[in-house]
Structure 1
Amino acid sequence: MKLVKGKVCGHGKGFAFVRGEEFGEDDILIGGNEVGRGMNGERVMVGVREK
């Protein structure tokens, strides 16, 4: 599992993206049922499973 540091970019429809801090990292979609208490602009670390 890869760990990615980034900022939460929330959407009004309940889902969010995490924008990685490292150059070239893709945004990570966080489904509405996985957002939890994440706040817009908050710095987080998320685990990403490799395909």
Structure 2
Amino acid sequence: MKSAAASLAVTISSFGINQGVGSESLSEFFRAVRLDRQVGSSSKYVQ
């Protein structure tokens, strides 16, 4: 669980904040790699 949360944090930081990727795109990515099953990853949460 800690590694999933760490992956989520790094992804949001790297792509969402630094690269300006939207929350909807990040949410789709988390669903594709199945991180959404372990941590909250809806677009509203990612914002």
TM class, shorter-length: under 0.3
Higher relative strand content? 1
**TM value normalised by structure 2:** 0.28
Where relative contact order (Cα < 8 A, 6+ residues apart) is larger, the structure is 1
| Larger proportion of helix | 2
TM-score scaled by length of structure 1: 0.27
